[in-house]
Every structure is written in C-alpha cells, then in structure tokens.
C-alpha cells in the first residue's frame, strides 16, 4: 500500500485537477441515494452559483426527457440537462444567490489536502464567507422538494462539514462557524451547524473507514 503525502495545504485548482488527486475524499465514505438526474441538477446549481464560467462547458440544455438525457450521456461530454430540470436548477440558484450576495464571499470551490484521522484526504469547500468580522465555512445544498419551513438536514452533512472545517484549519484557513446554505425553488436560508458535533461525526466516519490511502508524516 503506497503512502500519500498529506502535508496540509490549500490548493487553488480546477475540479478536474482536484479529482485527479490520489487522496481520499469524503464522498468515498458515503453512498449517494438519489437519482443520477438529481445529482446532475445539484451539480448545475453549484455551477450556476459558484462557478458560472463553467456552465456552458460542462452542461447542455435540451428539450428532452430525463431518461433520454441519461441514455445519451457520454464520458467527457457535457452533461445533458432536460429543460425542466434546468429551470428547477435556475430557481434554486437564484434563491441561493439572493442569500449569498448579502455576504462577502472570499473564496469559492476551495480545495485542500490534509490528514483525516489516519487517512490522506482531500476536500473542496463550496465557499468561505465573511460575516460580522467572522469567517464562515459555507456549503451549498439544493433540495428541489423543500418549499420552506425546517430545513431537512442529512446526517452525512455534519461529518462532511466537520472534515472540511478540520482539514481547512490544518491548512491555515480557520473558520469561526459552519453554515449550510439550503436552497429550494422558492427560498434559501443559512442554517448553522454546531462545530463540535460536526467534528464528532467526521472523526467517527473516518475512523470506521478502511485505510485505503495512508498518510505519511507531514513535511
């Protein structure tokens, strides 16, 4: 088993470069239980809000059904997005931006590598924002079925954001708070997560995981 250097560092790299890193990501610890089109819609919302310059390159809007869009998918080609799904994504991106624009966004899609409880790991934080003299770690979550009221928080979000906070702190980016920007078709809102609870979930998940990419001593 080849060890991987996980000297903590911030990496201002593209999504393709991030994916090519040999370090283990949080997604390797979880199982996505949504449909492929749900994943594509979520990726499009992220792109519209956080990386609008990538939308034309990575997504293709067509008047087709979801089944036809998925059947026509080709590795390396832009993701085909049915018009109805695109409209949903635009609505959620608009509500997200209405909230995010009220803050000073100092970084977007910020990659990092660090040691995660024995694992050589990587992460990519959606946004770092400034609010009231504090620095917040902000993660965008889009839910097409959320129309208001209590935000349906998913268990894995706590661990994911606990790891991001922990890894970024190792790399020198210390955040005072962890917030989820929950975006639905009609509204979005920030929900704060307790940092200590996030750390507990993150540590438990990484310690349960088989060590596939062991860390070497930091330089």
SS3 sequence, 65-106? CHHHHHHCCCCCCCEEEEHHHHHHHHHHHHHHHHHHCCCEEE
Residue 51 in domain:
no
CATH of the domain at 140: 3.90.320.10
Long-range CB pairs of 96-103, under 8 A, 24+ apart, other chains included: 96/45, 96/49, 96/140, 96/142, 96/181, 96/183, 96/188, 97/49, 98/188, 99/181, 99/183, 99/188, 99/189, 99/190, 100/49, 100/127, 100/129, 100/138, 100/181, 103/129, 103/130, 103/131, 103/136
CA dist 33 to 26, 74, 108, 211, Å?
15, 22, 26, 24
Instruction: List CB contacts of 51: < 8 A, sequence separation 6 or more.
Output: 15, 108, 109
* For residue 16, pLDDT beyond 50: yes
213 assigned to some structural domain:
no
Please indicate, yes or no, if residue 181 is contained in any of the structural domains. yes
Mean residue pLDDT of the chain comes to 90
Mean pLDDT of 143-171: 85
Residue 108 located in a structural domain: yes
Answer whether residue 195 is part of any domain.
Answer: yes
Q: What is the pLDDT of residues 175-211, one digit of tens each?
A: 999 999 999 999 999 999 999 999 999 999 999 886 5
Distance CA 100, CA 143 (A): 16
* Within a domain: 145: yes
Look at residue 121 in the predicted model and tell me its pLDDT.
94
Residue 40 lies inside a defined structural domain of this protein: no
- Tens of pLDDT, residues 3-15: 788 899 999 999 8
- pTM strictly above 0.85: yes
Query: What is the domain extent for residue 199?
Result: 9-35+91-208
- pLDDT single digits (tens) 25-61: 998 887 766 788 999 999 999 999 999 999 999 999 9
Q: Give the number of domains in the chain.
A: 1
pLDDT digits 0-9 by tens, 69-123? 999 999 889 999 999 999 999 999 999 999 999 999 999 999 999 999 989 999 9
Q: Is residue 62 part of a domain?
A: no
């Amino acid at each position: 088993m080849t060890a991987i250097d996980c000297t903590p560092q911030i990496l201002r790299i593209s999504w393709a470069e991030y994916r090519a890193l040999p370090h283990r990501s949080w997604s390797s610890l979880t199982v996505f239980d949504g449909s492929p089109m749900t994943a594509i819609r979520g990726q499009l919302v992220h792109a519209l809000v956080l990386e609008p310059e990538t939308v034309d390159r990575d997504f293709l809007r067509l008047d087709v059904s979801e089944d036809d869009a998925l059947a026509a998918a080709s590795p390396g080609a832009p993701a085909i997005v049915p018009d109805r799904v695109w409209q949903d994504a635009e609505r959620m991106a608009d509500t997200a931006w209405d909230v995010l624009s009220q803050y000073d966004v100092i970084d977007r899609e910020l990659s990092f590598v660090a040691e995660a409880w024995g694992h050589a790991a990587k992460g990519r934080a959606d946004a770092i924002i400034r609010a009231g003299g504090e620095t917040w770690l902000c993660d965008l979550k889009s839910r097409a079925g959320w129309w208001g009221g209590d935000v349906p928080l998913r268990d894995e979000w706590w661990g994911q954001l606990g790891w991001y906070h922990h890894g970024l702190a190792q790399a020198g980016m210390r955040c005072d708070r962890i917030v989820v920007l929950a975006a639905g078709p009609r509204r979005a809102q920030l929900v704060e997560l307790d940092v200590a609870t996030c750390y507990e979930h993150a540590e438990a998940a990484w310690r349960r995981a088989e060590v596939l990419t062991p860390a070497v001593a930091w330089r």
